[in-house]
Amino acid sequence: MKLPFKLNPVAVFLIVLCLIVVFSVTAFYLAVDGNYEIGVPPLRFTLKEIYRSEPWTFQTPNFLISIRGESYIVPVYLDERLIGIVVQSNGGYLEEDSSSRRLYLEDFFLTLNSEIYAQIKGDTLFLPLQNSALQRRILAAARSLIRLPELQGIAYPRTFLPPPDAICIYSGDGESILPSGYSVHFNNQRLFLFFSLVVLVVLLTIYLLTMDLHPTSRLKRLHAEKPVLREKLIAGFFLAVLLAAGTLGKLPTFKASSIHPHVIIFYYVILFLLLILRKKQIITNQYFGLASTMRGYLRGMIAVPVILVLIFLFSTLKFPSGISVTLNTQKTALHFAFLFSYAFAAEFFWRGYLQTFLERLWGQGAGLLLATVLFTLPVFMTVYLAYGFPLDADKTLEVFFFYPLTALPLAYLYQRSRNLVSVALLHALLLFLPGFLNF
C-alpha cells in the first residue's frame, strides 16, 4: 500500500531520529528497572577485601549452613553494591529445611544483600587478611567460584542474578542450590524486549547513516537476473557443506575463543572456489561488495564505530573507561588480524555470496532475513553436537535469539552499504573488543 503523499528526506530523517531516541530511552528504562531479569555483564563484579573467619553457622529461611574455622570470606560487589560472598572453606555442610539430606560444602558463592549479610554474620569474627601474596591467590581462586547462570548475549555474556531477597548457593563445580520454588528464568519478556529494542536502534541508526545511498546500476541488473538451476544447486551445495561442518563441530559461535585456524582455512577454500566459479562463469558475476561506490564504502566505514558504541553502551550501560592492551602489542595486533581474516572470509560467503543470491531469488527483505536465519543453522548444529537435544534454556536463547540478533546488523549494514570490508571489520571488532574494553 502506497502513501498518498511522499515524505521528504528531512522529514524521514527526523522521524527515524525520534524513533531511535524513544526506543533507546525505553531500552535503558527496561535495563535499569529490571537488571535481574535482563542480566548484567560479568566484568562489573568487584572483589576488594578478604576475611578469615572463625567457625560460622547461620540459618536462612531455606538453609542451615555451617563452615569450619580458618575459612576465607570474600565479599562480591556489583557497582559498589554487595551482591554476595565467596566462601572458601576447609569443610562445611548445608541442610535444606524441606529435605533431610545433608550436603557437604567446600567452596561456594552465596548471594546476599547487605542487610541479610549483616544479619546472618551476627557476632561471628571475620579478621581482615593482611598477607598480600595470599590475598592475590585467594582472589584469583574466588573469581572462578562466581558461577552464576550465564548466556552469550550481544558482545558480552549476560550474568543473571537472583532477586536481592533470594539467598542462593552456587558451588564451585557449577551446581546451583536454590530455595524451594525458585528458578532462574532466561525466557522472560523483559529480556526479549530489551535486546529487540537494542537491535532495532542499531538497524535504524544504520538506515539513518546510509539513507542517501542507492543501489548501483550493476546491482540493479544483478537483482533483475534470477538465478538459474545450476546456481541454485551450487548455493545449496555450499550451504549443505557448512551445515555438515557445523554438525561435526567445526564452525565457531560468536566467541573469539571458538575460532581456530582450520575454520579460517575452511572459509577461504570456499572463497577460492566461488571466485573460480565466477571466473569460469558457472555462477553469475555475483556482487560481492568489493567494487562498491566510494560513498558507500566511506559510509559503511563511518557506521562501524557508531554501531560499536551503541552495542557496547547497551550491553554494559557504561561508557568504556579504557582499553586493556597487554604489553605485547604485537601479539594483540596479530590476534585482531587473525579475527579479521576469519570475519572477512565468513562475511564473503554469508553476506557477499549467499545474501546476494537470496536477494536475487526472493527480494531484498526475504534475502536479509533468510541469510540471517541460515547463518544460525550451522551454529545450532555445533551447539547441538556439544550439548545434545533438547537444549537448555540458556543455549536455546543463545542460538535462536542472540545469534540471529547479532548477525542481523551485519546483514543489514551490508545490504545498505554493499561494503564487505566494513561488515567484516564490525564482525571482527565484536569478537575482539569484549576481551579488551574496560568499564
4 is a domain residue: no
pLDDT level of residue 256 (50, 70, 90 thresholds)? confident
Task: Give burial (CB, 10 Å; 0-12/13-18/19+) of 100.
Answer: exposed
Predicted confidence at residue 218, as pLDDT, reads 82
Whether residue 156 is found in the same domain as residue 220: no
Mean pLDDT for the chain overall:
86
297 is a domain residue: yes
65 is a domain residue: yes
Q: Is residue 379 within 8 Å of 253, Cβ to Cβ? A: yes
pLDDT surpasses 60 at 327: no
Average pLDDT over residues 223-250: 88
Q: How, if at all, do strands 102-104 and 107-111 pair?
A: unpaired
Predicted confidence at residue 325, as pLDDT, reads 66
- For the chain, how many structural domains are there in total? 2
Among the ranges 11-20, 84-93, 254-263, which has the highest mean pLDDT value? 11-20
Whether residue 21 is found in the same domain as residue 88: no
Whether residue 211 is found in the same domain as residue 136: no
163 is a domain residue: yes
Predicted confidence at residue 174, as pLDDT, reads 59
Pick from 65-74, 135-144, 155-164, 227-236: least confident: 155-164
3 is a domain residue: no
Whether residue 24 is found in the same domain as residue 65: no
Among the ranges 73-82, 178-187, 318-327, 338-347, which has the highest mean pLDDT value? 338-347
Question: What's the 3-state SS for the chain?
Answer: CCCCCCCCHHHHHHHHHHHHHHHHHHHHHHHHHCHHHHCECHHHEEECCCEEECCEEEECCCEEEEECCCEEEEEEEECCEEEEEEEECCCEEEEECCCCCEEECCEEEEECCHHHHHHHHCCCCEEECCCHHHHHHHHHHHHCCCCCCEEECCCCEEECCCCCCCCCEEECCCCEECCCCCCCCCCCHHHHHHHHHHHHHHHHHHHHHHCCCCCCHHHHHHHHCCCCHHHHHHHHHHHHHHHHHHHCCCCCCCCHHHCCHHHHHHHHHHHHHHHHHHHCCCCCCCCCCCCCCHHHHHHHHHHHHHHHHHHHHHHHCCCCCEECCCCCHHHHHHHHHHHHHHHHHHHHHHHHHHHHHHHHHHCHHHHHHHHHHHHHHHHHHHHHHHHCCCCCHHHHHHHHHHHHHHHHHHHHHHHHHCCHHHHHHHHHHHHHHHHCEEC
Predicted confidence at residue 258, as pLDDT, reads 84
Whether residue 158 is found in the same domain as residue 233: no
Pick from 299-303, 370-374, 393-397: least confident: 393-397
Pick from 78-92, 195-209, 354-368, 411-425: least confident: 78-92
Predicted confidence at residue 309, as pLDDT, reads 92
Pick from 259-263, 298-302, 319-323, 402-406: least confident: 319-323
Summarize pLDDT for 282-315 with one digit per residue, the tens.
Answer: 887 666 655 567 777 888 899 999 999 999 999 8
299 is a domain residue: yes
Instruction: Look up the domain containing 79 and give its range.
Output: 40-177
Average pLDDT over residues 363-374: 92
pLDDT surpasses 80 at 4: no
Whether residue 148 is found in the same domain as residue 240: no
The CA–CA distances, whole Å, from 197 to 94, 194, 227, 278, 349 equal 42, 5, 35, 39, 28
Summarize pLDDT for 88-98 with one digit per residue, the tens.
Answer: 987 888 887 76
Whether residue 199 is found in the same domain as residue 78: no
Predicted confidence at residue 207, as pLDDT, reads 95
User: Residues 6 or more apart from 257 whose CB is under 8 A from it?
Assistant: none
Predicted confidence at residue 1, as pLDDT, reads 42
| Final residue in a domain of this structure, among 177, 212, 243 | 177
Whether residue 237 is found in the same domain as residue 324: yes
247 is a domain residue: yes
229 is a domain residue: yes
Average pLDDT over residues 196-216: 92
**pLDDT > 90 in the chain, percent:** 36
Summarize pLDDT for 33-46 with one digit per residue, the tens.
Answer: 777 778 888 778 89
| Final residue in a domain of this structure, among 177, 197, 225 | 177
Summarize pLDDT for 154-204 with one digit per residue, the tens.
Answer: 888 888 888 778 888 887 665 677 776 666 666 678 889 999 999 999 999
pLDDT level of residue 2 (50, 70, 90 thresholds)? low
Average pLDDT over residues 251-275: 89
User: Residues 6 or more apart from 347 whose CB is under 8 A from it?
Assistant: 410, 414, 420, 423, 424, 427
Amino acid identity at 331: K
Predicted confidence at residue 25, as pLDDT, reads 94
Among the ranges 92-101, 215-224, 291-300, 416-425, which has the highest mean pLDDT value? 416-425
Higher pLDDT, 80 or 25: 25
Pick from 14-18, 140-144, 205-209: least confident: 140-144
| Final residue in a domain of this structure, among 142, 177, 212 | 177
Whether residue 150 is found in the same domain as residue 222: no
pLDDT surpasses 90 at 341: yes
Whether residue 204 is found in the same domain as residue 166: no
Give the dihedral sign, CA 397/399/401/407: positive
User: Residues 6 or more apart from 170 whose CB is under 8 A from it?
Assistant: 108, 109, 111, 145, 146, 147, 148, 176, 177
* pTM for this prediction: 0.88
Whether residue 97 is found in the same domain as residue 166: yes
Whether residue 167 is found in the same domain as residue 286: no
Average pLDDT over residues 107-115: 89
